[in-house]
Structure 1
Amino acid sequence: MLRGLDIRDMLIIDRLELTFQPGLNVLTGETGAGKSILLDCLGFVLGWRGRAELVRQGAEQGEVTAWFDLPAGHAAFAVLADAGISAEDELILRRVNTKDGRKTAWINDRRVSGEVLRALSETLVELHGQHDDRGLLNARGHRQMLDTYAQLDDDIAEVRSAWRSLSRARKRLSEAEALVAEAKAEEDFLRHAVAELDKIAPEPGEEATLDTQRRLMQAAERIIQDIAKAGEALGLNGAEGMVSDASRWLVGVADKAEGQLDPTLAALEQVMASLDEAQQGVSACLDALSFNPHELEEVEERLFAIRGLARKHGVLADDLSDFADGLRARLAVLDDSAADLAALQASVDESAADFGTKSDALHRKRVSAAAALDAAMSAELAPLKMERAIFATRITEGTPGPEGADDVAFTVATNPGAPAGPLNKIASGGELSRFLLALKVCLTQADAGLTMIFDEIDRGVGGATADAVGRRLAQLAQEGQILVVTHSPQVAALGGHHWRVEKRQDAQSTTSTVVPLDASARVDEIARMLSGDKITDAARHAARALIEA
Structure 2
Amino acid sequence: MLQRLNIRDFVLVDRLELDFQGGFGALTGETGAGKSILVDALAFVLGERADSGLLRAGAEKTEVGAEFDIRALAELKSWLAENDFAADDDLLLRRILDAGGRSRAYINGSAATLQQLRQAAEWLVDIHGQHAHQSLLRGEAQRQLLDAHAGHADLARSVGEAWRTWRDARDSLEAAAEGGEALAREREQLEWQVRELETLAFSADEWESLNQEHKRLAHAASLLEGAQFSLGLLAEGEGACEAQVRAVASRLDGLAEYDPALSEVAQLVQSAEAELAEAVSALRRYADRVDLDPARLAEVERRLEAVMGCARKFRALPEELPELLSRWQQRLAELGEAGDLAALQARVDAARQQYDKDAAKLSKARAKAAKALGDEVSQGMQELALGGGRFEIALVPVAGGNAHGLESIEFRIGGLAGSEARSLAKVASGGELSRISLAIQVVTSRQASVPTLIFDEVDVGIGGGVAEVVGRLLHRLGRERQVLCVTHLPQVAARADWQWQVAKSKEGAAIKSRVTPLDAAGRVEEIARMLGGVEITATTRQHAKELLGQG
TM-score by length of 1: 0.69
C-alpha contact (below 8 Å) 1:5/1:66 kept by paired residues? yes
Deviation per residue, 1:159-183 (Å, 9 max, x gap): 1221121011011111111213779
Q: Which sections of structure 2, spanning at least 5 residues, go unmatched?
A: 186-335
Offset at 1:58? 2.2
CA change 1:172–1:428 in 2 (3 A) is closer
Give the match for residue 24 of structure 2. Answer: 24
The alpha carbon displacement at 1:79 in A equals 2.3
1:459 lines up with 2:460 in the alignment = yes
Q: RMSD of the TM alignment (CA)? A: 2.6
Aligned to 2:525: 524
Other-structure match for 2:448: 447
| Aligned counterpart, 1:354 | 354
User: Any idea what SS the aligned residue of 1:475 has?
Assistant: helix
Task: Quote the residue 2:233 is aligned against.
Answer: none
Please tell me whether residue 70 in structure 1 is matched to residue 61 in structure 2.
Answer: no
Size of the alignment, in residue pairs? 401
Q: Percent identity?
A: 42
CA offset at residue 20 of structure 1? 0.7
**DSSP-derived class of the 2:123 partner:** helix
Q: After superposition, what is the alpha-carbon deviation per residue over 1:304-330, rounded to whole angstroms, capped at 9, x for unaligned?
A: xxxxxxxxxxxxxxxxxxxxxxxxxxx
Task: Answer whether contact 1:34 1:503 (CA < 8 A) is retained.
Answer: yes
* Alpha-carbon distance change, 119 to 100 in structure 1, aligned in 2, over 3 angstroms: same
Question: Partner of 1:345 in structure 2?
Answer: 345
Which residue identity lines up with residue 484 of structure 1 in the other structure?
C
Q: Does 1:365 align with 2:369?
A: no
Task: In structure 1, give the amino acid aligned to 2:75.
Answer: A
Are the aligned partners of 1:430 and 1:461 in contact in 2 as well (CA < 8 Å)?
no
Q: How does 1:452-491 map to 2 (within 5 A)?
A: 452-491=453-492
1:390 Cα deviation from its structure 2 partner? 1.7
* Structure 1 contact 414–427 (Cα < 8 Å) conserved: no
Question: Secondary structure of the residue that 1:136 maps to in structure 2?
Answer: helix
Is residue 414–residue 426 contact of structure 1 (8 Å, CA) maintained in 2?
Answer: no
Number of the residue aligned with 1:535: 536
Distance in 1, Cα, partners of 2:30 & 2:124: 28
Q: Deviations over 1:428-474 (max 9, x none)?
A: 55543322211111121233452111010111111101111111111
Which stretch of structure 1 is more off in the superposition, 126-135 or 467-476? 126-135
> What is the DSSP-based 3-state SS (H/G/I as helix, E as strand, rest coil) of the residue aligned with 2:56?
coil
AA aligned to 2:170 is R
SS at match of 2:53: coil
Is this contact kept in 2: 1:180–1:337, CA < 8 A?
no
CA distance 1:104–1:426, change in 2 (3 Å): closer
Report what 2:420 is aligned to: 419
CA-CA distance at 1:51 after TM superposition: 4.2
Displacement of 1:155 in angstroms is 0.7
Q: Which amino acid aligns with 1:466?
A: A
2:79 is the counterpart of 1:100: no
User: Match of 1:445, SS?
Assistant: coil
Following superposition, the deviation at residue 532 of structure 1 comes to 4.2
SS of structure 2 residue aligned to 1:494: coil
Which residue does the alignment assign to 1:127? Answer: 127
Tell me how far apart the structure 1 counterparts of residues 16 and 505 of structure 2 sit (CA, whole Å).
Answer: 13
Which residue identity lines up with residue 78 of structure 1 in the other structure?
S
- Alignment check: 8 A CA contact 1:143 1:408 kept: yes
- SS of 1:93's equivalent? strand
Distance in 1 separating the partners of 2:133 and 2:104: 25
SS at match of 2:527: helix
Distance 2:358 2:435 in 1: 36
Q: Measure, in 2, the Cα distance between the counterparts of 1:12 and 1:430.
A: 25
Which stretches in structure 1 are left out of the alignment for 5+ residues? 187-335
Equivalents in 1 of 2:466, 2:51: separation in Å? 33
**Structure 2 CA distance, aligned partners of 1:170 and 1:389?**
45
Amino acid paired to 1:525: E
Task: Find the counterpart in structure 2 of residue 112 from structure 1.
Answer: 112
Give the direction of change, closer, same or farther, for the CA distance of 1:183–1:122 in structure 2 (3 Å limit). Answer: closer
Q: SS where residue 119 of structure 1 aligns?
A: helix
Report the secondary structure of 1:59's partner residue: coil
The 5-angstrom pairing of residues 258-269 of structure 1 reads none
Matched residue of 1:56: which SS? Answer: coil
Instruction: String of CA shifts for 1:489-548, please: whole Å, max 9, x gaps.
Output: 111111111001111113321111111111111111111111144322222122111111
Residue 163 of structure 1 corresponds to which residue in structure 2? Answer: 163
The answer to whether the Cα contact below 8 Å between 1:378 and 1:387 also exists between their aligned partners in 2 is no
Whether the aligned pair in 2 keeps the contact of 1:390 and 1:416 (CA below 8 Å) is no
Measured after TM superposition, the shift of residue 48 of structure 1 is 1.4
SS of the counterpart of 1:360? helix
Change (3 A) 1:131 1:37: closer
Matches within 5 A, 1:130-141: 130-132=130-132, 134-141=134-141
Alpha-carbon distance between aligned partners in 2 of 1:86 and 1:140, rounded to the nearest angstrom: 28
SS of the equivalent of 1:395 reads strand
1:362 Cα deviation after fit: 0.7
Give me the whole-angstrom Cα distance separating, in 2, the residues matched to 1:337 and 1:125: 49
Q: Which moved more, 1:412-421 or 1:449-458?
A: 412-421
* Whole-Å separation in 2 of the counterparts to 1:87 and 1:182: 49
- 2:391 aligns to what? 391
Query: What is the identity, as a one-letter code, of the residue corresponding to 2:160?
Result: R
**Residues 1:143 and 2:143 aligned together:** yes
Post-superposition shift, 1:338? Answer: 12
Q: Which amino acid aligns with 1:420?
A: A
- Contact kept, 8 Å, 2:397 with 2:407, in 1: the verdict is yes
| TM-superposed deviation, 1:102 | 2.1
Shift of 1:139: 3.2
Residue of structure 2 equivalent to 1:309: none
* Counterpart position of 1:221: none
Letter in 2 for 1:349: D
Distance (whole Å) between structure 1 residues aligned to residue 539 and residue 44 of structure 2 = 41
Q: Counterparts of 1:354 and 1:49 in 2: how far apart (Å)? A: 42
Contact 1:388 1:416 in 2 (8 A): no
Instruction: State the secondary structure of the residue aligned to 1:123.
Output: coil
Q: CA deviation at 1:91?
A: 1.2
Maintained 8 Å contact 1:13/1:513: yes
Amino acid at match of 1:47: G
Q: 2 CA distance for matches of 1:139 and 1:153? A: 16
Q: In the superposition, relative to structure 1, how do residues 513 and 2 fare at CA in structure 2: closer, same or farther (>3 Å)?
A: same
Find the aligned partners of 2:339 and 2:139 in 1 and give their Cα distance. Answer: 46
Distance 1:3 1:161, change over 3 A: same
Distance of aligned partners of 1:172 and 1:438 in 2 relative to their CA distance in 1, 3 Å threshold? same
CA change 1:337–1:440 in 2 (3 A) is: closer
Match of 1:310 in 2: none
TM-score (norm 2): 0.68
Task: Report if the CA contact (8 A) 2:43-2:133 is conserved.
Answer: no
Q: Aligned AA for 2:435?
A: R
Aligned to 1:220: none
1:82 paired with 2:82, answer yes
